[in-house]
Amino acid sequence: MSLVSAQTVATHNSSESCWIIVHGKVYDVTEFLSEHPGGSKIILKYAGADATEAYEPIHPPDAITTNLPIEKHIGTIDPNTVVKAIKQVTEEDRRRQALLDARPPVDEMLNLHDFEAVAKAVLPAKAWAYYSSGGEDEITIRENRAAFQRVWFRPRVLRDVSHVDWSHIILGQKSSMPVYISATALGKLGHPDGELNVTRAAGKHGVIQMSLDQIPTLASCSFDEIVDAAQPGQPLFLQLYVNRDREITKRYVQHAEKRGIKALFITVDAPQLGRREKDMRMKVVDDNGTAKVQDGQQDVKKNEGISRAISSFIDPSLSWKDMAWFRSITNMPIILKGIATPEDALLAYDAGVQGIVLSNHGGRQLDTSFSGLENLPPIIAALKTRGPWPNPNFSVFVDGGVRRASDVLKALALGASAVGIGRGFLYSFCAYGQEGVEKAIQILHDEFQMNMRLIGARSINEIVAEMVDASALSSRVGLPPIDNLYNDTCESTSFNSTIQE
Amino acid sequence: MSLVSAQTVATHNSSESCWIIVHGKVYDVTEFLSEHPGGSKIILKYAGADATEAYEPIHPPDAITTNLPIEKHIGTIDPNTVVKAIKQVTEEDRRRQALLDARPPVDEMLNLHDFEAVAKAVLPAKAWAYYSSGGEDEITIRENRAAFQRVWFRPRVLRDVSHVDWSHIILGQKSSMPVYISATALGKLGHPDGELNVTRAAGKHGVIQMSLDQIPTLASCSFDEIVDAAQPGQPLFLQLYVNRDREITKRYVQHAEKRGIKALFITVDAPQLGRREKDMRMKVVDDNGTAKVQDGQQDVKKNEGISRAISSFIDPSLSWKDMAWFRSITNMPIILKGIATPEDALLAYDAGVQGIVLSNHGGRQLDTSFSGLENLPPIIAALKTRGPWPNPNFSVFVDGGVRRASDVLKALALGASAVGIGRGFLYSFCAYGQEGVEKAIQILHDEFQMNMRLIGARSINEIVAEMVDASALSSRVGLPPIDNLYNDTCESTSFNSTIQE
Amino acid sequence: MSLVSAQTVATHNSSESCWIIVHGKVYDVTEFLSEHPGGSKIILKYAGADATEAYEPIHPPDAITTNLPIEKHIGTIDPNTVVKAIKQVTEEDRRRQALLDARPPVDEMLNLHDFEAVAKAVLPAKAWAYYSSGGEDEITIRENRAAFQRVWFRPRVLRDVSHVDWSHIILGQKSSMPVYISATALGKLGHPDGELNVTRAAGKHGVIQMSLDQIPTLASCSFDEIVDAAQPGQPLFLQLYVNRDREITKRYVQHAEKRGIKALFITVDAPQLGRREKDMRMKVVDDNGTAKVQDGQQDVKKNEGISRAISSFIDPSLSWKDMAWFRSITNMPIILKGIATPEDALLAYDAGVQGIVLSNHGGRQLDTSFSGLENLPPIIAALKTRGPWPNPNFSVFVDGGVRRASDVLKALALGASAVGIGRGFLYSFCAYGQEGVEKAIQILHDEFQMNMRLIGARSINEIVAEMVDASALSSRVGLPPIDNLYNDTCESTSFNSTIQE
Amino acid sequence: MSLVSAQTVATHNSSESCWIIVHGKVYDVTEFLSEHPGGSKIILKYAGADATEAYEPIHPPDAITTNLPIEKHIGTIDPNTVVKAIKQVTEEDRRRQALLDARPPVDEMLNLHDFEAVAKAVLPAKAWAYYSSGGEDEITIRENRAAFQRVWFRPRVLRDVSHVDWSHIILGQKSSMPVYISATALGKLGHPDGELNVTRAAGKHGVIQMSLDQIPTLASCSFDEIVDAAQPGQPLFLQLYVNRDREITKRYVQHAEKRGIKALFITVDAPQLGRREKDMRMKVVDDNGTAKVQDGQQDVKKNEGISRAISSFIDPSLSWKDMAWFRSITNMPIILKGIATPEDALLAYDAGVQGIVLSNHGGRQLDTSFSGLENLPPIIAALKTRGPWPNPNFSVFVDGGVRRASDVLKALALGASAVGIGRGFLYSFCAYGQEGVEKAIQILHDEFQMNMRLIGARSINEIVAEMVDASALSSRVGLPPIDNLYNDTCESTSFNSTIQE
């Protein structure tokens, strides 16, 4: 590739001709402007200049090369022509560094809530808004947590609990606990290494990570980066957003299978992204690159291009009819993520897929939908009409609001095959990187040991329905009027009090 | 009409002889003093002087000409005799203007709660008190909102939702959404153009507005003003307070029909105005013109005349017996607004009217009455005993507490024909005029699209009972202990935080 | 009676010989010291001096003459020997006067909560503590109010409500509303005229007052003072605490009957006074005369004499066996006040008394007992097993937590014969004297008119069970998490905000 | 024993050779370092020096002599060689003394909550954290209190309650009330005399105390100290944590029986200590001696030795199989403390033990387990399938959240044999020593008298199931949204307001 001078690049600084520099390479993105899922405005901000710093946290490294035809790859920037900008340390940078310096040692983290408290304190406001926001009035996201607090234990005593074992098999893969790590998006907003922190910690501790597919506006680490970071034989799952262009979808799926992915989770609860207004609000205020991810929901008049761009890759026409096709293109187990009713659970079963996730997308899609946990008992009851439960050929997973090993045990007692945790691990790397994820895993192990001993279960098999009382789950009586998540646990860390003073 | 000098007017400045100037005309209101629904005191304040500024926001322009016999129309004020008062800019004016200047751009409004937050911030305290107050302890007004949050969705997935359509037919009229705009009173307290903002926006976006009848103490825009502001063919409904003088009522109704009104909503839950104590309290403190609207509830000793005046136009004797007469004077569909029991719903059905509104008057009348939404399931069940539901000849509407398209979808799933929204649009024009109403409509469209996709309904027909779980509706379990309306959503607008600092 | 000089009195200043001056008379109370229900210490504080000011607010005028043998009435104080003490205006006096001056005009009172807010602001802390306190954790006192908010109206519309009539017959006596005024104690702590304010206002407005018997430590107005203040023919009821000495009880009862009392309410829920800890706490802090009323509950070691003194007049042995005797000594209807179970309601019915009051003593006795309203449905159901209801020979009253006419209507709909209101009127005279009580009555009349119109009942007879939904009453679901009593209504009076600034 | 000079001791100041001085004796703890349940670090802090002050509050006096082989008892410190350290009065000491000086007089304590408020104010933060903390999210500890507030009284009236008697027989022992004092740990953190305050007060007032066994890391008073402090014939119970070394357990049990202990309560709900995170958090912040008690739950990597040390004395293998052995080694009645299900209650009954305690360990073990009170009705129902109830040979006790005599009466009405109170008495001696415990007992007596009179029960036998309505207990409806424990009662003590100003 030929060398290009910074001066030449600088002349292509408009929508008529727009060149940008990313990672030392020069690209002509003029024709791509109207297709950019993040809108043209944000690219034009860097027209004729280096866009790397804005590009980095919200795109996988290969996003630009994958999406841009080879003839638009203009060349390599001539380093001699670049005027080294002295990176200005901003007030915001200083403030953030001070917060990071004030973090308590990772050893002081006692539960997964703690990571959330630290992450909230150290994250840029926008990243916190993006991660923590739920749909509309955020009733479902609150309900997700509350539901677990409405299931009570019926502990058995005087069993020999010298040895308790919570290792588990999930979709045929060994896991050190009955938990997998749900996929989360845009992890680089919170930590330079993004989801790779999870990959490394999961590999080290025998936990299974679900990774996002390669759709560039959602993942900030590319799929291949994650697979490359995994240890040999480390099991990974894939969460797929189905593309309107089924050829692209097919390519992704088959590439994933080739790279050793163990299961395919197809997102079925997001034909359109939910209104995450806390996030939208943040972006409206100070519009920059990260703002556009949610813009599909914005005023159509103003953001038509973006809206269309977003819709161009998530396919709202995805339906039961497509299931046979998926089965035809892969041998991976297929799991439908986002089932919420017994009716759809039976349709999934009858469609021949290998399982479902009872999920409301972390409360980020349809508000006032039930928690996955609340949907669990009626769905298990429905599946029992198809044969004995548990069924070795069909798995039912649950996610949403899980913060404690005790939450996981409750879901298992109610019939779940395993449980997904997303934000808990996301916040742990936002707060402490890989070390945070490892600590979070360790905390869960400690909690599993203690709680299994205290309920009198020595293995996953011994966690039976009689060990919980879920009568308040669907009646929703006894919703704790105080949110222990923030008020009790997190707000009393020494770290917070230091910050507040 | 003869010219009258300001000096002459000034001599008629007592209850013995009381002339006032309104819109450049001189009126002798001496004999009207005791009949003024707002009391004589407020008129006497302007005796012998120009009352236009006090008159304007709470009377339709034609109120004085309609109510005063022609012989009391003295003449036109001689402009040369008027000493131009230099309008003093008060501290209050300045404060209000500063608040208006500090409003966030209308584009930052993300939901209907946002308009409420902005309206609360910019409205004069009295207007806010008048609009937002509910009856007595305000339990019903709170319940109206909470009821929607106790209905949960049962979303269906993997349906092809590429195209979703929420346009609807309401009482034979086309509507771009299954929503009509409920009538609200005294809109000019909040915006100089009052309810005309709604008329113009509704016409532009294909939404049906319900307007108030011409009773002067309630409407600040006259009925004809609103009809005149409508586009050709724009459908309008009329909400009627039945006058003791049935001839006046007949005249109103037939005039409305002649002007093309498409349906007559008869108010049946207000034989007497409710005790809206927040509003009463405000007025007691600083008594001026607007204060008297509610004074009918005040100490009879002191305000006897006013009390009687108010009672003189709302007829507490209105009863089922009158329904045949109404059917005899108009061909418009007749809808009874304010039904709250299955018993009365069946009486309405049997009386041959075309529908009912399950309403508690926005929580402004009888406190601790149920929300319309809670009354919906038993009333639909009762109506099913008369034949299949939905019934093309009988409509059941619901209003009260609606802020989201998802609220509307819940009511439809439970059997409602369409849903009324009042305060949501009122606050939108108080905050931003016509542009606010248009934005509010756009937001609802966005929410309809997203929510219909997420619940798996492609048209209004596909919104079925199985899509909601209303088991908590009548048990009232799970009332969210935090009011998301203010705490979560609104208080985090950048606007508020700006104001507060 | 002979003249006694102040100097002579001053020499009898110890427990060996203790003389005091009350209302210009000199008494030798040496032997009475150990019997004084308020303890000897408080008397000794005034030994040899004038005790009138301390005596006044907590004793009826004739308490000392009634309780002290005639030979201890030493004589009249010689006015020439008295050194006129210049009454020091204390800081506390000044503060209280400032609060009274800052009261809003009585016309601004819009509901009974308002009087409570004003009373709280202007009352001495001790008086507020005495009036407002409930038993132990104050759960029942809170529940009393909350219970009414769990009963919902089922209003009927389109009835001709031109004329609504809420006058009523209570135990054969005409009343302008279905409400009587419950007896309260120590009213002079809050207003110099004490309960006489109620007597005068009740007489003027046709409402029935219940007065306390003559037991000196509870009433601050004597029974005869109240009867004397009543208008000719004004009906009064009597609440009796049964004395261990049945002869005293008999004397009281027959005296009351002779003076025209219309019904005898026998207290059955107070064999011992409840632990009203808010009140106890106040008194512990600054011990003076008023402190001793509650001291029966205090540490026996320290206050043995007082404890015994209190127990000496309330008889814990009162039982069903005594009912025949009561019937033998009076022809007044006998009502048992404080029934809480269907079992006891039937025992009362079978004992031949004329009625019962479902009461928990304003939440001041047994904590976590149900509200009278919650006990109403099962008790009416039980009484129906004895014959048709309503029963002309047996009345069921309810009290506790009533603040609104709508509360009264709910109780009537559930079967109550009438409703007692105590604190509402107590606070109205603490705030504004007789005028306050009259205003409170007027407010209730306004509320009755409006609420009866809004529920569609034109007379007490038309208030039927179908007009309320009490399903949440016993389930206790939907307890409003916010106490509207203080937070919403009262705290927004202009008066409070003035005080707070 | 030989005299040892301070200089000699000072040379043994490392992990190679570690001597310490306790109570004037010199010990070689080098080999014990790795076995110390509190970890080696805290001992090494005092290596070569006097450790008495750190040792005192968290070890029974004989802990070191019991645990260290006699050959490690080096000798007596030569007092002439000790440089008298002038005890520095720290800022913390001064602050604490000021708080103690500001305590209200003990006579102002009106209920058991009050002691908690004072204790919270005067205790070192660490001690408060240790005593007050519950497991994980502290839902169960909150539920323990709330459960009692969901049981309502059905009081009976007009019974002769002149004489009421609440004395009781508990496991064959006379008690002045139907309450025993539950064992608590580390009392010396809160008061120099620790649990001996309880022993002395209990003996004086005829109440039975349960003491902890001799496991050194939990008790701060030794078992024998407590027995020695008891009066002749004063009944005591023993709570046992079963040691992995059954010989040690046997020795403890038989020693206890020999010393006259009347019943053996075997802890069955703590195979591992719960995560009391409030406590863990406190310790992490400022690590010293007291920190290590909970460290078994900490990061294993860092605290492996400690973790193992803790596990070395509590035996997680304890099971039903061991019950026969226990019966074989003692004639004391055996009670299983920590039963939570009917299933286990029946197993206990069938295992031939003499009773069970329905307990969740004060909310300190398994979080979201039910309160003992909620478990009571189903467990009594289950036991009734084995024969009539009450059963003279099998007792069912309840503890957790008890603060009022009325709580006790509710548990008795629901079938409990007696009730345990722990923290209530712990806080009373933390606040006022022995006098506090005596006052707490007196308050309970006062409450028993009043409440029994008010519910109409003259003896424990008359407290029957019909006297309570427990329908809300298992539905958990009506959880008071305000915690009266702190908000209402305690926060209004004059003491607190003094402190806060």
Catalytic residue list contains D486:
no
CB B27 within 8 A of CB B72: yes
The whole-angstrom separation of Cα B351 and Cα B334 is: 10
State the smallest CA–CA distance between residue D495 and chain C in angstroms: 10
How does pLDDT run across D389-429, given as a tens digit for each residue? 999 999 999 999 999 999 999 999 999 999 999 999 999 99
pLDDT value for A89: 80
Catalytic residue list contains C73:
no
Of B151, B454, B475, the CB nearest to A366: B454
Query: Do the Cβ atoms of A344 and B481 come within 8 Å?
Result: no
3-class DSSP string for A112-160: HHHHHHHHHHHCCHHHHHHHHCCCCCCHHHHHHHHHHHCCEECCCCCCC
Please give the mean pLDDT across all residues of chain D.
Answer: 85
pLDDT value for B215: 59
The verdict on A476 touching B (C-beta cutoff 8 Å) is yes
Contacts of D471 (CB under 8 A, 6+ apart): C474
- Strand A468-469 relative to strand A152-153, pairing: antiparallel
Residue type, C212: L
A293/C245: higher pLDDT = C245
Mutate to test the interface with B, among A276, A368, A370 (most CBs of B within 10 A): A368
Catalytic residue list contains B130:
no
Mutate to test the interface with D, among A439, A441, A454, A493 (most CBs of D within 10 A): A454
State the smallest CA–CA distance between residue C138 and chain D in angstroms: 8
Radius of gyration of chain B (CA): 23
Averaged pLDDT for residues D467-492 = 57
The whole-angstrom separation of Cα A108 and Cα A436 is: 11
Query: Do the Cβ atoms of D494 and C338 come within 8 Å?
Result: no
Q: What six digits make up the tokens of A166?
A: 């919570």
State the smallest CA–CA distance between residue C48 and chain B in angstroms: 52
Instruction: Identify all chain C residues contacting D151, using CB atoms and an 8 Å cutoff.
Output: 368
The verdict on B320 touching C (C-beta cutoff 8 Å) is yes
The whole-angstrom separation of Cα B103 and Cα B118 is: 7
Counting every residue written for chain C, the total comes to: 501
The verdict on A406 touching D (C-beta cutoff 8 Å) is yes
φ/ψ (deg, to 5) at D377: -60, -50
Averaged pLDDT for residues D363-386 = 96
pLDDT value for D276: 86
pLDDT above 80 (res A484) = no
Of B155, B481, B489, the CB nearest to A481: B481
- Choosing from D46, D130, D131, D241, the catalytic residue is D241
Instruction: Identify all chain B residues contacting A353, using CB atoms and an 8 Å cutoff.
Output: none
Closest CA to C363 of C259, C298, C270: C270
Cα-based angle B469, B471, B475 (whole degrees, multiple of 5): 150
pLDDT above 60 (res D310) = no
pLDDT band at A217; cut points 50, 70, 90: low
Find the DSSP H helices in D456-490: 471-475
pLDDT above 70 (res D489) = no
Find the DSSP H helices in B265-398: 277-285, 300-313, 323-329, 342-350, 372-384
Q: What six digits make up the tokens of D59?
A: 């070890």
DSSP C173: E
pLDDT more than 70, % of chain D: 86
Closest CA to A120 of A352, A360, A428, A381: A428
The whole-angstrom separation of Cα C257 and Cα C264 is: 9
- Choosing from A55, A130, A131, A241, the catalytic residue is A241
Instruction: Identify all chain C residues contacting B347, using CB atoms and an 8 Å cutoff.
Output: 158
Mutate to test the interface with D, among A111, A113, A156, A158 (most CBs of D within 10 A): A158
Most confident of A308-312, B89-93, B302-306, D384-388: D384-388
The verdict on A478 touching B (C-beta cutoff 8 Å) is no
pLDDT band at D277; cut points 50, 70, 90: confident
> What ranges make up the beta strands (E) of C340-454?
355-358, 395-399, 418-421
Nearest chain D residue to A488 by CA: give it: D137
Residue type, B295: D
The whole-angstrom separation of Cα A14 and Cα A133 is: 35
The whole-angstrom separation of Cα C172 and Cα C175 is: 9
The verdict on C488 touching B (C-beta cutoff 8 Å) is yes
- Strand C418-421 relative to strand A468-469, pairing: unpaired
The whole-angstrom separation of Cα C259 and Cα C236 is: 10
How does pLDDT run across A335-370, given as a tens digit for each residue? 999 999 999 999 999 999 999 999 999 999 999 999
Of A344, A370, A475, the CB nearest to B156: A344
- How many other CB atoms sit within 10 Å of the CB of residue D14? 11
pLDDT value for A312: 62
Counting every residue written for chain B, the total comes to: 501
The whole-angstrom separation of Cα D175 and Cα D169 is: 6
The whole-angstrom separation of Cα C20 and Cα A285 is: 78
pLDDT band at A79; cut points 50, 70, 90: confident
Of D158, D161, D442, the CB nearest to C299: D442
The whole-angstrom separation of Cα B67 and Cα B70 is: 9
pLDDT value for A85: 64
pLDDT band at D286; cut points 50, 70, 90: very low
Cα-based angle D121, D126, D129 (whole degrees, multiple of 5): 75
Averaged pLDDT for residues A194-218 = 87
pLDDT value for A419: 98
How does pLDDT run across A417-471, given as a tens digit for each residue? 999 999 999 999 999 999 999 999 999 999 999 999 999 999 999 999 999 999 8
CB C485 within 8 A of CB C492: no
The verdict on D465 touching A (C-beta cutoff 8 Å) is no
- ipTM entry: 0.84
pLDDT value for D40: 80
pLDDT average per 10 residues of sequence, chain C (501 residues): 87 91 90 77 86 79 81 89 74 88 92 91 88 88 89 96 97 98 89 94 97 65 88 95 90 94 96 85 48 36 39 84 97 98 98 98 94 97 96 97 97 98 96 97 96 96 96 67 38 33 29
Ranges in chain B, pLDDT < 50:
284-309, 479-501
Query: Do the Cβ atoms of A477 and D475 come within 8 Å?
Result: yes
Whether pTM exceeds 0.90: no
